[in-house]
Chain A
Amino acid sequence: MTTQTTAPKTPSTPAGSAAGLIGLPPRLGRALATGGGLLTIVSTFLAWTWTQDFPGDLTINGYPGGLQVLVLISAVLTTLLGLASHGVKGLGWLAPAGADAALKFAALATFATAWYTVIAISVELGGLVNLEPGGFLVAVTSLASLVGALALPFQRPEPDPLDPDAGRVERVKHRSAHTWETVKAAFTADRPRPLGKLPAYAEILIIVAVLAVSLTVFTYGIGTEYDELFIGFLITAGFGFAALSKSGLIVHASQITSRHQNITVCGAFATAALFPFTQTDDQYATLGVYILIFATVALGLNIVVGLAGLLDLGYVAFLGVGAYAAALVSGSPSSPIHVHFPFWAAVLVGALASLVFGVLIGAPTLRLRGDYLAIVTLGFGEIFRITANNLDGTSGPDITNGSNGISSIPNLKILGWDLGAQHDVAGFTIGRFANYFFLMLIITAVVVLVFRRSGDSRIGRAWVAIREDETAALAMGINGFRVKLIAFAVGASLAGLAGTVQAHVTYTVTPEQYYFAGPVPPNSAFLLAAVVLGGMGTIGGPLIGASLLFLIPNKLQFLGNYQLFAFGVALILLMRFRPEGLVPNRRRQLEFHDEAEAPAVLGKTGA
């Protein structure tokens, strides 16, 4: 964070007063931020480099490409927020929580993306000489915009009183703590002003717009063709999202969506169903299917971990059981059982097999609490994989074909629709993966339905009660073991459901797909990470967490062996700064932050 070094070195600044992080007059800062944003917009239309060696073709005047588009978007956001902070009429809706903090983040987004691009060009092509004037311009304007934004006034926190006898180390610690508090305060927004009631059609239009934006962002992220663009996308999306949430727009949007929950959920599925139509070939639809499988299983795990609070580290085994069960009855030539069930029967077999496996594992282990349960489930997950490896006809009966797995699983055919073939529907080409994407979307819908309905019912409250305080829950008449077993079994069958589709998508089911931890999701560790990263006990959380956890290793291939390391660092940072996950459950938010930062009243969307 570069801003930390610019933090106040002048102790004479009276605490509690309003002044910027950088000592410029606020009016000048505001103008600088807005003007910088405006000039950055202009600069994205210029050429930044002279050669097309840098991916994305940044050489054309008058037509932004690649990373320039990202800079353009964040610059537009910066300019709009800048104008809103000037109090321009008609832009007030953009920043219901005050534009200043949001403007800082937006300027940061512009600056980070622009400078990342400029630095990437210079490094990859060897020297600043490869920059065209446009490149220099964007560097200067985005920096100016950031400096201006940082000069905006904010409420400085009072420093904690310092013990006069404190030693040097303590003094330094105290000063850095205060600096950190000040920087944090600089980026803190007010509580957004309450949202008035809009006509129903307007609110639904807003929901449609929000969904459309999310689809665009997601499609853009999935379709990024080279590493630089994906990193730029992450920077822009991250800071841009922060800017929007500081401006209070996210709060307003979630208020509107919680007023129309059913419309939002249906709309989200309709939007997701549009995704294959945005793709011209099957290349990225593949990613879509895998993400959806991963996300669905993570959502199933969220019932077990997020609602009932049972830490299950062997969850991927249930996916495996479902996949194996479906593969065995799929009519594959390498399956020892030579039967070919129709899809609905295969789904039932897969879900039932997982259910039985879940109850078998759950019945003895659910008497344990906390860490012990985690260890035992971890063990059972590995037992499943090793058993599948050994049932090859030599070490055990021939069922799973050992490490070769069950291969050449035929494509599904549902109601005469061959999911393996390409179809042309209304001018759009629906490829194999797009077919499976639609099928998987139905499974996801089932899981979402189960999650929502069971969460908001007697059984769901019993799960949460068990998670909160098991002794008290027992004293309230909840049969803890039974309720936990139900959670375990429901989670297992949902994973099995996803497994049946996974077997057909991947053609092959092998034991290696179901490790505890590995570089490729889904595995138990990544599933749990998706739940924790996204937000426990929410529906959106695991979906977003799973998308990120799948896309990032997939797109940043250059990380290579450092992937897991980077993943670990990212998780630690997240747990430090946002322990409730990206999409916080309101309960969780209250658990981890002071009451001042979170709503005191739990709305209907809390669960």
Chain B
Amino acid sequence: MTTQTITRGETVLDARGVTMRFGGLTAVHNVDLTVDSGEIVGLIGPNGAGKTTFFNCLTGLYVPTEGEVRFKGQVLPPKSFKVTAAGIARTFQNIRLFANMSVLENVLVGRHTRTKEGFWAAILRSPGFHRAERASRERAMELLEFVGLAHKAEHLARNLPYGEQRKLEIARALASEPGLLLLDEPTAGMNPQETRATEELVFAIRDKGIAVLVIEHDMRFIFNLCDRVAVLVQGEKLVEGDSATVQGDERVVAAYLGEPFEDAPGAEEIAEVEAAEAQAAPTTDAAPGKESDR
């Protein structure tokens, strides 16, 4: 623990009793979550469960109404730019790149907290300024190399295809040299191949010693990737555990698919419904029901 090298098992993020209320609405209620270094933790839950609100509490965009979030033992400051400086970087659910800046410039903006050159340094252009600028560019190019976008460094961010924009957002977040990376639905809208590639990328990030917390709806992605998964339902943490535990938990299935009826339909009713459907099928091409939703 005394050395600077991050060993697995050290708690990086420690959220205790985080509650977020908007007026009368409690979006997140009393959630505890820890993330250890070198760990990939998933956060899942149905739509509107409060995942992104919880993320925003972790990144200083919201200040939790109750509870506290500690990062490496320090209580997080209430401003998002200070949180980034402390070592938590994030991506956004709907990509928020600086669309009219080049790919390289986007990553350089990510370096902001790790460089110090101010206005006067920019005007006077001392050797120190040039050195820092060069170092930043080298580091940014390394990161672009890492996510596989180095050949597009001079393109405008807006001209990148969707999947590469996601990658660029991750590179930009990594540029702030975080101890913890928060990914908000990194594979939304991706095809299976792109999702696979993202998986590899997240593993590679983990191997750099960076802890990762992922929100995602793609269950296969989550269960392949994560060491631990927490389920958030209606603002509260339902279960937490490894993939098998979560997958096997009835409450999770119920939260996603809904509870069975009080008295589940008997064979008689099912036959009745099937007969009615068979009659209706030739005239209407009705949307398939839940039974056929494999």
Contacts and interface: CB of A to CB of B under 8 A. Distances in A.
The answer to whether A and B come from one shared complex is yes
Interface of A: 449-450, 453-454, 456-462, 464-465, 468-469, 471-480, 486, 490, 587-588, 590-591, 595, 600-603, 606
Contact of B98 (A469, A588, A590, A603): A469
Contacts of B156: 587, 590, 600-602
Contact of A595 (B59, B108, B123, B159): B159
Interface in B166-221: 172-173, 176
Contacts of A601: 154-156
A454 B122 contact: yes
Given A459-B118, A465-B101, A601-B155, A471 B61 contact: yes
16 contacts: A453-B122, A457-B117, A459-B117, A461-B112, A462-B109, A464-B100, A474-B79, A475-B81, A475-B89, A476-B176, A477-B112, A587-B101, A590-B156, A600-B156, A601-B154, A602-B102
A40 to B, nearest CB: 44
A592 to B, nearest CB: 11
Interface string B107-142: 011111101011101110100010011001000000
Interface string B40-73: 0000000000000000000101000000000000
Given A468-B98, A478-B81, A602-B156, 4 more contacts: A450-B123, A600-B155, A602-B154, A602-B155
Interface centre among B89, B112, B115 (most CB of A within 10 A): B112
A98 B79 CA distance: 56
A18 B135 CA distance: 54
A285 to B, nearest CB: 31
B69 to A, nearest CB: 15
A341 to B, nearest CB: 24
B99 interface: yes
A588 B92 CA distance: 24
Given A475-B61, A600-B159, A459 B122 contact: yes
B113 A459 contact: no
A590 B98 CA distance: 13
A476 B109 contact: yes
Contacts of A468: 98-101
Contacts of A460: 122
Given A450-B123, A477-B84, A461 B92 contact: no
B153 to A, nearest CB: 10
Interface centre among B81, B92, B117 (most CB of A within 10 A): B81
A461 B101 contact: yes
B105 interface: yes
Given A457-B117, A479-B81, A587-B156, A472 B98 contact: yes
Interface centre among B59, B156, B173, B176 (most CB of A within 10 A): B156
B80 interface: yes
A454 B102 CA distance: 17
Nearest to A599: B156
Contacts of B8: none
B119 A486 contact: yes
Contact of B84 (A456, A462, A475, A606): A475
Nearest to B129: A457
B21 interface: no
B185 to A, nearest CB: 15
Interface in B85-104: 85, 89-90, 92, 96-102
A296 B44 CA distance: 55
A408 to B, nearest CB: 36
Contact of B112 (A456, A462, A600): A462
A454 B120 CA distance: 9
A275 to B, nearest CB: 27
B98 A465 contact: yes
B122 A457 contact: yes
Contact of A471 (B96, B112, B176): B96
Nearest to A588: B100
Contacts of B158: 590
Given A459-B119, A461-B108, A478-B109, A472 B92 contact: yes
A606 B102 contact: yes
Nearest to B159: A600
Nearest to A490: B119
Contacts, number: 121
Contacts of B92: 472, 475
Contacts of B80: 474-475
B105 to A, nearest CB: 6
Interface centre among B80, B129, B136 (most CB of A within 10 A): B80
A475 B59 contact: yes
A475 to B, nearest CB: 5
A480 B123 contact: no
A454 B124 CA distance: 10
B214 to A, nearest CB: 17
Nearest to B104: A602
A458 B97 contact: no
A477 B122 contact: no
Contacts of A469: 96-99
A591 B100 contact: yes
A276 B102 CA distance: 41
Contacts of A453: 122-123, 125
A458 B155 contact: no
B81 A454 contact: no
A482 B36 CA distance: 33
B285 to A, nearest CB: 27
A287 B125 CA distance: 35
Contacts of B96: 469, 471-472, 475
Nearest to A474: B80
A486 B118 CA distance: 10
A294 B163 CA distance: 46
A571 to B, nearest CB: 23
A357 B241 CA distance: 58
Contact of B81 (A477, A590, A595): A477
A370 to B, nearest CB: 17
Nearest to B178: A477
B139 to A, nearest CB: 13
B92 to A, nearest CB: 7
A588 B88 CA distance: 32
Contacts of B105: 461, 464
Contacts of B122: 453-454, 456-460
A484 to B, nearest CB: 12
A297 B105 CA distance: 28
B109 A465 contact: yes
A464 B129 contact: no
A477 B113 contact: yes
B61 A473 contact: no
A459 B96 CA distance: 20
Contacts of A465: 98, 101, 109, 112
Contact of A458 (B79, B112, B123, B172): B112
A472 B168 CA distance: 13
Contacts of A458: 108, 111-112, 115, 117-118, 122, 132-133, 136
Nearest to B100: A587
Interface centre among A469, A477, A478, A595 (most CB of B within 10 A): A477
A453 B119 CA distance: 9
A603 to B, nearest CB: 8
B215 to A, nearest CB: 15
Interface centre among B108, B115, B119, B159 (most CB of A within 10 A): B119
Nearest to A478: B112
Contacts of A473: 98, 109
B36 to A, nearest CB: 23
| 6 smallest beta-carbon distances between A and B, as pairs | A477-B113, A477-B84, A457-B122, A472-B96, A468-B98, A587-B100
A602 B99 CA distance: 12
